[in-house]
Amino acid sequence: MTQPDPVFHPAFDIGAATLDCGVEPRTDSYDAVEWPDYVPLVDWSGCEPTPDQAVMNRWLTTRPLDALAILHVGAGNSSPARLAASTARAVDAVTVSPHELTHARGLELPGYTVHLVNKYSEQFACALTGRQFDCILDNNLVSFACCQRHAERYFETLAALLNPDGIIVTHRLGMRFILESAGVEKVWRLDTGALRTIAAAYGWQVAPFAGLHFLGAPSAVAGLHLAPSPATALLRLRLRAAVLPATIRMARSFPAGLTGTVIRTFRDKRTPTRRPHRKPHLQNDP
């Protein structure tokens, strides 16, 4: 266990009470999350993409991916890699799930590399040292944040990994989800205003569009050309139309008996319908 840093000075303030939990994030923190009667929290390798991920995937298909380097935080079933690996220069993903790692490697996609690492850890900050990405996908930026310090460490790592003209892509559904049953503070349930407060600390702007939220340098966000036009109106409709079918497909991909629970509780996204017997120290994105 690491000791809290007495000289830690937060870069932003959205009201978090726990500034430094004093526990270094690990991947094995998730070993306790194996409850068959709950919505999956860690291993999504056999599930369809969540609705927010499905919208991000649909947006990805509208972009020219040639020669881009893409980082997907939370490998899941590797759906972004399956969409982009044939055209992108490289696709990397991180996961805390050994099952997702095995699944991803079994796909044998060209240029696809998966790292077993907790995104809030120092290990993640070092794993991709020297790399630069044009697009970083993470639908749950701080949904599993244990404290301010480790959340900031993650954003600092993203800032180092992001190309000057690169963008970070997230989604409102994932922003609004937190794992309260594991003690994640409600302040990490982000709205656009809170996300802008965080982004400003790293010199980024935030551009919301059809549930998606894009973060990056002002020039990078402006380069997305999201101003009202017939083309962007059509794209907005296409992205919003992806949510309901994705919810149904995702629910059907879960083990028997979970489908109704998934649809009934999806407003809180993956929140268990009853409290687990154990409360693991969760610190990463499935």
Task: Give the Cα separation of 208 and 225 in Å (integer).
Answer: 12
DSSP strand E in the chain: where? 69-73, 90-95, 112-116, 133-137, 162-171, 205-209, 212-216
Q: For 59-88, b where at least 16 C-beta lie within 10 A, e where not — what string?
A: bbeeeebeebbbbbbbbbbbbbbebbbeeb
Taking Cα atoms as reference points, which of 145, 159, 131 lies closest to residue 215? 159
Residue 11 CB burial class (10 angstroms; 0-12, 13-18, ≥19): middle
Residue recorded with tokens 């407060």: 197
18 is a domain residue: no
Q: What is the pLDDT of residue 30?
A: 56
166 is a domain residue: yes
Q: Which amino acid is present at 111?
A: G
CATH of the domain at 191: 3.40.50.150
| pLDDT per residue as tens digits for the range 92-113 | 999 998 989 999 999 999 999 9
Question: What domain range is 237 assigned to?
Answer: 28-268
62 is a domain residue: yes
22 is a domain residue: no
110 is a domain residue: yes
8 is a domain residue: no
Neighbours of 55 (CB within 10 A): 27
The DSSP code sequence of 37-100 is TS--SS--TTSPPPHHHHHHHHHHTTS--TT-EEEEES-TT-HHHHHHTTTSSEEEEEES-HHH
Q: How many residues does the chain have?
A: 286
107 is a domain residue: yes
Looking at the structure of the chain, the number of domains it has is: 1
| Per-residue pLDDT of the chain in tens (286 residues, 90 and over written 9) | 445 556 789 999 999 999 999 989 888 765 444 444 444 566 788 888 889 999 999 999 999 999 899 999 999 999 999 999 889 999 999 999 898 999 999 999 999 999 999 999 999 989 898 899 999 999 999 998 999 999 999 999 999 999 999 999 999 999 998 877 777 899 999 999 999 999 999 999 999 999 999 999 999 999 898 888 888 898 888 888 888 777 777 766 655 544 444 444 444 444 433 333 333 344 344 3
For the question of whether the overall pTM of this predicted structure is more than 0.95, the answer is no
283 is a domain residue: no
